[in-house]
Structures are given as C-alpha cells and as structure tokens.
Amino acid sequence: MGLRIGRLLAGRRLFWKILLAFLVTFVVMTQVVWLLFALRGDREPPEFLMTRHIGPPVLEAAVQAVGGGGPARYRAMLANLPEDSRHRLELVAEGTRPARLGEGYGVLERRVRDPTGARYLLRFRYHRDDSPGLLNIPPELVLTGVLAGLVFSGLLAWYLLAPINHLRRGFERLARGELATRVSPAIGARRDEVADLAHEFDRTARLIEQLVQGRDRLLHDVSHELRSPLARLQLAIALARQTPARTESAMDRMEREVERLDGLVGELLTLARAENEQDPGDDYFDLVGVAASVIADACYEAQPAGIEITFDAPGEEDEERPPVRGSSELMRRAIENVVRNALRFSPPKGRIEVGCVYLAGEASFRLSVVDEGPGVPPDLIDTLFEPFVRGKADGQGLGLGLAIASRAVAAHKGRIVAANLPGQGLKVEFEIPAKAL
C-alpha cells in the first residue's frame, strides 16, 4: 500500500510543485513576521517574561516563608501556589546536591536561613528554549505548516488534475480518430479557466469533425459527379465501336462529356483556392465596377429568355465609396456565380434586381441579388453554400457556384446569407468590408 502511494505521489509533479510553493511561501511569511517584530523592538521571548514577571516574586515569597517559619511554612506556601509554579520551586538543604536541570532550562537561585539558622538553597526553574527552531520557527509550527501544506497541496492538485486528466484522455481519443469526443460533460459545472479550456477543446473537436465530415462528403460527391460523365464516355466509346456509322455523334457526345469533366475540375480547383485563400492579396479594386462588369455580361446572356436585370449602385462621383482590398478576380467569380445562379432559376420574362450600397457606419459594402425563381426548399437553405448542394433535385449545374462564392466572400472577411422571399424568389446578400487607401 505504501509503495502504491509512493508511486502515485512520484508521478504527481504538479502536487510537488504546489507543495514546494506553499512551503516556500510559509517560510517567507514567518521570516517576514519575525523580522518585523525584531525591527520594532517589542519582541520579548516567553522565557524572559517568565523570569522577569513571575520568577522573582515567587522566589521572594519562598524566601520569606523559609526565613519566617522554616520548611513547614514553605510547604504551606507551596500548597497555595498554582501547580505550574509549584513544580518550578525547589528547596535544597545545605550539603545536599540539587536536582540536575534538563536541557533548555534555566534557574534563579537564592540562599536563605530559617529561624533555627539552618542554611537552604531556593531554586526557581524556567524553560529557557534558547533555540526557537529552524529559521526562528518553533518546531510545532513547522510540523503544522508541513501537514497543512500536504493537505492543501493534495486537495488543490486533485482539483486541478481531475479536469486536466479528462482533457488528456480527450486528446488521446481525438488522436485515435474518435472525432465525436467531448470533455465538457465530464468537467461538470465548473466556471474557471480549466472549464474554458474544456469548452475550447470541444469547439476545436467539433470543427475538426465538421472538416473531416465535409472532406468525406466532398470526396463522395466528387466521385459521384465524376462517375456519371465517365460512364457516358464509356457508353459513347462502346457505341462507336459497335456502330461505326455513329462514330461522329459518339465523338460529339464524348467531347461534351470531356468539357463537363474539365468544367468540374476547374470548379473544384477554384473552390480549393477559395477555401485556402486566407489572405486574398493586397490589390485594391472597385467593388461596384467589378459588379457592373458582371451585370453587363449577365444582361447579354439573359436576352434570349427575356429576363430583365437591374443594377442599383452608388455612382463614380460618390466620394465616400472606398475600394476593397483583396482579389478582384476572386470577388468577380463570387458575384458572377450568384448572378448566374439567379439567372438559371429565373422564369422567362422574369426580373433580377441587383443592388449595392456602401454602409459608411460599418465601413462595408452590402450587395444583394434578388430573383423571381422558385426559391430553395427550407431544409436546404442552411446548407445552400456547401459544395454539390443544388436548390432543386433536378437542378442544372455542379452545385459548386454558391460554395465558391461563400469561400471567396469569407476570404475577404465578409459574410454571405440566403433567404427565401414571401411567395417566391430567393435573396442572396453579402457584406464585404472596405479598406481606405
């Protein structure tokens, strides 16, 4: 049992550090108190108080008793003294050897004669204790301090080590790939820095779990998106081999599938760039100008369907319109994807409203795109900006446009949100912070 406790304490480095700190503090405090009393000059050891205030009067009373009535009166006086003083007095007849004093004791002596002329030696013993202990600390106080330090250090170490051990085991499980690991429930209702650390651990583990799940979902979706055009390519090759007369149409089909694969790879590369773009660059560009260029191209594409696109933005003469710091190409891609998404789902003869306003109080631009399409199912609105999420099950496109827009806006320290409008239509709105030159 003792060996187990020894091994347990040997491994508790925090316990020994706390105990050492407690003992050092204890010694320093006692030395400071002792020094203050010494400097004030009113520090008088108890043995001096005993000698000066108690010893002489008691010894004088004993001398008077022996001198006036001999040993009999002395014994009567002795019976009336407190027990502590009674044991300190000793009457020794002349020629008799007095009792030996113990270590740490002093003595006051007086010689006296009784009425018959017999000589006696009166002695008053007191506890001198010339050595107050280690570093001027009494041994009893040293023992009390060590015991109190052991109890205090043990409780404090247990209080700190219990949640730390939960965190350590949580890190071990997380390192083994158990991404659902959480430590806050084991910590309990603590409200201190250790509890804050546990909450941060849970938040980090949750983010890692989401990232890994997103990666797995992305790999699954990419595999699914690649499988369809590859299957059609294989079918076109098989048809060309079986029916040479249809080789031309099969080649056209293969060309379209290759273009689709090329587009998918290009979108994935753009998405990867947007996700990894922590700092999009130091270029300064005019956000309104970039948006106007995108709208001009979209208006040309909207003509066959008769879709009207309007753009409401501050003019170039607006002196309060500052530039945006980042990548104009990445931001152009974000705006273009949002506008093309609205164009894809707008009905013929529909209307798309694009607005851009500068919020001077927030030093940011707010750009919104409103269409008259069918909107997004409520269960998809929260995941609309995730890769390969389409607003409709039979929707066209790869489902990467809004994901790229979301990552591009985040790279510029902005935010993007989407909401269904009453009746029908979808509104996509994002804010981009401006940077003054």
Among candidates 295, 412, 330, which has minimal Cα distance to 365? 412
Going along 260-331, which residue ranges are E strands? Answer: 283-285, 308-312, 324-326
| pLDDT of 429 | 94
The letter for the amino acid at 178 is: E
| Residue 221 CB partners (closer than 8 Å, separation 6+) | 387, 388, 399
Which phi and psi (to 5°) does residue 377 adopt?
-55, 140
Tokens 């902005």, residue located: 414
pLDDT at 51 over 90: no
The pLDDT, as a whole number, for residue 228 is: 73
Per-residue pLDDT at 365: 93
Class of domain 46-127: alpha beta
Amino acid 47: pLDDT: 52
Q: What percent of the chain has pLDDT over 90?
A: 13
The two three-digit tokens of residue 135, written as one number: 């570093």
Task: Provide the pLDDT for residue 213.
Answer: 79
Least confidently predicted of 34-43, 191-200, 226-235, 239-248 = 34-43
> Is the model's pLDDT at 116 over the cut of 80?
yes
**More confident call, 178 vs 2:** 178
Q: Which CATH superfamily is domain 283-433 in?
A: Histidine kinase-like ATPase, C-terminal domain (3.30.565.10)
Query: Each residue of 346-356: pLDDT tens digit?
Result: 999 999 999 99
* CATH number given to 179-276: 1.10.287
Checking if the pLDDT of 135 tops 70, the result is no
Q: Which residue has the higher pLDDT, 383 or 45?
A: 383
Q: Which residue has the higher pLDDT, 394 or 54?
A: 54
* pLDDT band at residue 133 under the 50/70/90 scheme: low
Which of 51-55, 220-224, 298-302 has the highest average model confidence (pLDDT)? Answer: 298-302
Please check whether residue 313 is in contact with residue 295, taking contact to mean a CB–CB distance below 8 angstroms: no
Q: Which of 417, 290, 303, 300 is nearest to 349 (CA)?
A: 303
pLDDT at 137: 60
85 Cβ contact list (under 8 Å, min separation 6): 54, 58
**Is pLDDT at 342 greater than 50 in this prediction?**
yes
Residue 77 is predicted with a pLDDT of 86
pLDDT tens for each residue of 143-163: 777 777 777 777 777 777 777
Q: What is the pLDDT of residue 432?
A: 92
Q: Highest mean pLDDT range out of 34-43, 180-189, 286-295?
A: 286-295
- Domain locations along the chain: 46-127, 179-276, 283-433
Residue 280's pLDDT is what? 67
Range of weakest confidence among 203-207, 231-235, 323-327: 231-235
Instruction: Give the confidence band of 436 by pLDDT, cuts at 50, 70, 90.
Output: low
Digit-coded pLDDT (tens) for 351-397: 999 999 998 888 899 999 999 988 888 888 888 887 777 665 445 55
- What pLDDT is attached to residue 398? 58
> Which pLDDT band holds residue 2 (cuts at 50, 70, 90)?
very low
pTM of the model: 0.53
How far out from the chain centre does Cα 169 lie?
A: 17
Residue 279: its pLDDT value, please?
Answer: 63
Is a pLDDT exceeding 70 seen at residue 12? no
pLDDT (tens digit per residue) in 232-249: 888 888 888 888 777 888
* Whether residue 3 has pLDDT greater than 80: no
Alpha carbon distance 391, 338 (integer Å) = 13
294-302 CB contacts, 8 Å cutoff, 24+ apart: 294/332, 294/335, 294/336, 294/339, 295/339, 295/354, 297/336, 298/336, 298/339, 298/340, 298/343, 298/352, 301/343, 302/343, 302/352
Residue 315 pLDDT > 70, yes or no? no
Question: Can you give the pLDDT at residue 41?
Answer: 53
2-11, 32-41, 387-396: segment of lowest average pLDDT: 2-11
Mean pLDDT of the chain: 78
- Higher pLDDT among residues 32 and 381, named by residue: 381
Mean pLDDT of 93-111: 76
Residue 119 has pLDDT above 50, yes or no: yes
Residue 269: its pLDDT value, please?
A: 77
**Comparison of pLDDT for 189 and 6, the residue scoring more:** 189
| pLDDT score at 391 | 60
- pLDDT band for position 8 (cuts 50, 70, 90): very low
280: burial class by Cβ within 10 Å (0-12, 13-18, 19+)? buried
Measured distance CA(89)–CA(67) in Å, rounded: 16
- Name the packing angle between helices 247-276 and 328-345 (round to 10°): 130
